[in-house]
Each structure stands twice: as structure tokens, then as C-alpha cells.
Structure 1
């Protein structure tokens, strides 16, 4: 007897936008127009992510949300998927939430959302996240990695962690929207979702008492997500993934160096070849 959960395909949204009017320092150094096409160990970040997402057997259609698609469309895997009709572009907007809405327009749910700088997530990592979201019957979800797993992947990979009663966790830039109704939860990401750096965003999204519990590390992640679920009227769950590498993305020169170091361990040094 077939398992409908294992057979279900999801739509992948890959967020590849750029800040309006600002050239990212990594892009400037690499001589490209946007960060997502900066090469890491010889391959553009967006090309890496699309290759890994498209190799995940749980992913069907792929949408790249971007402000400047032409530069992205020249990447070989992306060009091939465009020609096959499996991949399309959606227009990037001025903030992450409106960009998610743009990417979701007309898409088949559920949606798995990732970012163009998630260079270390493998097809198995995406499959694990999608499977856990489906098994939990999640309306919305966020991927988290344990602090000890992130540190094991690389001690310099992440500097700050969300602290809960059962330990520290890092965001993996993997999100889940189970239905069109769950788009309301995308409002959580409206200012970038950097809650560790900007506590007022927790107050705005979740309330003052949750900020206090969050800062003291006395609340559980499950309780926090349950309270958010009640606020938005959908089931939101934290999904803990097994590999700490998935929490390391390319934000700046430090994390670029960490990511490239890890990729060279996996693949060999492209420059040396």
C-alpha cells in the first residue's frame, strides 16, 4: 500500500532577492550584481541551492523569487530547469513577506521556503525537513538545528543561538507553509526575522511575556510555537533537523569563509583543480 505522505510533492520557493539600491559587499568583491550569484568554491550560490533542491525527490515545481532574474537564469542548472518548465521566476518585492506572497501566487501548496545562500543544505536535508512537516501536519514550520550540532559542523559557523529550556537552537532558513491560509504566518518574517538581534520584533510578533521567557531560556520551543499558533489560527511547529551544517548560510565574509571551507572538504578545492 502506497504512503501518500511520502508521495506528496511540494513547491519550493527560493528567496533570491536583493536589498533595494544596495550592492552587497560580497557581490561587489566578486564583480557581480547580486549576492546570490557570488561563487562559493567555484559555483554560484543560487546554482548550488537550485541543484540541491531539484535533486530532492519530494520537490516538484521550483520558483525563484528575485529582483534581477536575467543574471540568475544564465546558471546552467537553472537554465536547464527553465527550459524543462519545472522552474519559474517570481518578482522580488521590497521586503521578505511581500516577496513570499509574490512567490506563492498561483503556486500549488504546500510550500517549502529556503534562501539562495543556504549552500550547505543537501537534498537529504530538504527531504528530512519536508517529511517532518508533513508528518506533523504542520500549517507552518521553521527548521531549527541544535547548538551542539551547529558547533560540531564548524565552531565558527554560528555566533548566536535561540535559547530554550532544552538548549540552544539556530534557524536554518527553511520554512513551511502548508496551505494558502498559512500565508498569514509569513508576517512573522516581515522585518527579516532577526529576532536575536532585534528583541522588539519578538514583542511585536509574539508578545512581551514570550520575550521574557525567550531571553531567560525558561520556555520550551514547543510552547512558544503553540502560542504563536493560537495567535495566527494555524498549527505552527518547530522542526529540528539532524545536521548542524543546515544552519550555516552565507551572510558576510566570516560565514562565506566558513561555508567555502566546508565545501572544499566535501568537494575538493575548485581553484586547485
Structure 2
């Protein structure tokens, strides 16, 4: 039986220092998190889904331009309710996670402002599986076949394991303050497929070789990483491949908006 625990959600909505996001420039806004997609700013959409998850309690939005985000109706309502707190982002994502976690009640669910296809049910599934595993740290994954069934071009990069290909859902779990050291996995964006040196830094050379050669199962690799960090870190496979499609660029923006219009209808005419 899953424990009756409510997680604190950290929604990462920062921006890279000195970098102008192309999607934000095209939309005429100052930061990617407030780019409208199917008529709703991304951060507002993600926070609404997180807030609707019955297994989430407090919400913290970590951002560099807090004021612009705090004025959005959904965000403002949750702030007024006392459920949501804005936290100033730091220079990089890892230090921003540490800032968001300061004084927070564990466990922490970490997601990103561009995870526009994750649903309350998806967050509940992830939290329930983390609790069932007694995970101190976890990363959400989706199977290649499920991702490609959701959209054939929604995600092009997959981690290869003996039991198949998996994509990262940019959703993480920290069960305790001790597990905060796992946030180092996300330093510099966690783009391990494109930048394998980051695996060496985070996990060690032998694990990089196993990863690149597709040796062993994901469970075995995570067990080896757990020994390196000193606590239980597990892979959590989610049932819906949509959850691995986030808004990184023009292509994934178009894919995500197409899927949202199928779900909701065209809401662009209702944008404020």
C-alpha cells in the first residue's frame, strides 16, 4: 500500500544567463516559461497540472524573472491561497534546485516549465511508484515505443539499455535532504546523450562505457549509480509516452501544440 504522503513540487522555470531563447523571441516575451502554447503560457499550464495532482502539496516555482510569472492568473491565485511560493533562480539549474529545496518539506517532485504534456495522473503515477520503491532519488523514463506512439517525431534521442530504448521525462524525485546530491545529475542541463563527459563527471567512466554500449538493464545501471551516490536511486517507467515530449525547440513546440489541440481544441483565440 502506497504511503499517504504529499510531495512538495519544484517547478523549474529559469533561463540560461545571457541566452535569448528563440521561442521567447518569436512570441515577444522575455523568457521561455511564459511562451503561450495553445493559448496558455507554458508555466501556467504546468503549474495547473501539478496543482491538480492529489499527491502534491506545496508548490515552489523557481525562476529568474519572478514578477512576470507571479502575475499570471493561475500562479497569482495559488500564491494568494498560500499554496505556491516563488523562489529566485540561481546561476545554473543545480544551484536553482538547491535554492528551491531550501526549507521545503520532503519528498520533492521536480519538473520543468516546458513539460506541457504531463498530466495530474502522470505526476500521481510517478509519485506512487517512487513511494512504492522507497526511492531516495528517481528519474522518470518512458519507453521508446510509447514515445513514438505518442508522436513519431516528438522525441529523437533515447538512452539504450539491454531491455530497449528509453527517453527522459525531465521529472525527478528527491526523497530526503540527503538525496539533494543527486541534483548534480542535472548540472549543465543533464544532456548526457549529446555530452558524454557529463556521465563521467556524474557517474564514472565504467558506467559511461556500459551506458554507451547498451550493456545491462537500466535497473542495474541505476543500482551502480546508487552505490556511487550512497543512496537508492531508481528508474521509474511511466505508462504514457507523451510525458517524454517537452518543448525544447520549434519542432517540439509544434508537436506539443498539435497534441494539446487534439486534447483541448484550439484555444489560441482565448489567449489574453
State the TM-score, normalizing by the size of structure 1.
0.97
Q: Which moved more, 1:119-128 or 1:181-190?
A: 181-190
Q: In the alignment, which of 91, 113, 128 is matched to residue 116 of structure 1?
A: 113
Cα root mean square deviation, aligned: 1.0
| Number of the residue aligned with 1:247 | 244
Q: In the alignment, which of 226, 230, 233 is matched to residue 227 of structure 2?
A: 230
State how far apart, in whole Å, the 1-side matches of 2:101 and 2:116 are: 23
- After TM superposition, where is structure 1 displaced by more than 6 Å over at least 4 residues in a row? none
1:183 aligns with 2:188: no
| Number of the residue aligned with 1:262 | 259
Secondary structure of the structure 2 residue equivalent to 1:17: coil
State how far apart, in whole Å, the 2-side matches of 1:100 and 1:272 are: 35
State how far apart, in whole Å, the 2-side matches of 1:22 and 1:65 are: 18
Secondary structure of the structure 1 residue equivalent to 2:91: coil
Contact 2:7/2:106 (8 A) holds in 1:
yes
Offset of residue 4 of structure 1? 6.3
Q: Which moved more, 1:212-221 or 1:37-46?
A: 212-221
State how far apart, in whole Å, the 1-side matches of 2:2 and 2:216 are: 35
State how far apart, in whole Å, the 2-side matches of 1:19 and 1:193 are: 14
Q: Which deviations, in whole Å up to 9, do the C-alpha atoms of 1:239-261 show, x marking residues without a partner?
A: 00000000000000000000000
Secondary structure of the structure 2 residue equivalent to 1:148: helix
Q: In the alignment, which of 131, 142, 154 is matched to residue 145 of structure 1?
A: 142
1:161 aligns with 2:173: no
Q: Which deviations, in whole Å up to 9, do the C-alpha atoms of 1:31-83 show, x marking residues without a partner?
A: 10100000000000000000000000000000000000111111111110000
Instruction: Give the alignment of 1:4-43 within 5 angstroms.
Output: 5=3, 7-43=4-40
Contact 2:117/2:246 (8 A) holds in 1:
yes
Gaps of 5+ in 2: none
Q: Which deviations, in whole Å up to 9, do the C-alpha atoms of 1:128-152 show, x marking residues without a partner?
A: 0000001100000000000000000
Gaps of 5+ in 1: none
Q: 1:37 to 1:272 in 2, by over 3 A?
A: closer
Offset of residue 272 of structure 1? 6.0
Q: Which deviations, in whole Å up to 9, do the C-alpha atoms of 1:173-221 show, x marking residues without a partner?
A: 1100000000011111112111000011111111222112211112211
| Number of the residue aligned with 1:79 | 76
Offset of residue 267 of structure 1? 0.6
1:204 aligns with 2:201: yes
State how far apart, in whole Å, the 1-side matches of 2:200 and 2:83 are: 40
Q: How many residue pairs align between the two structures?
A: 270
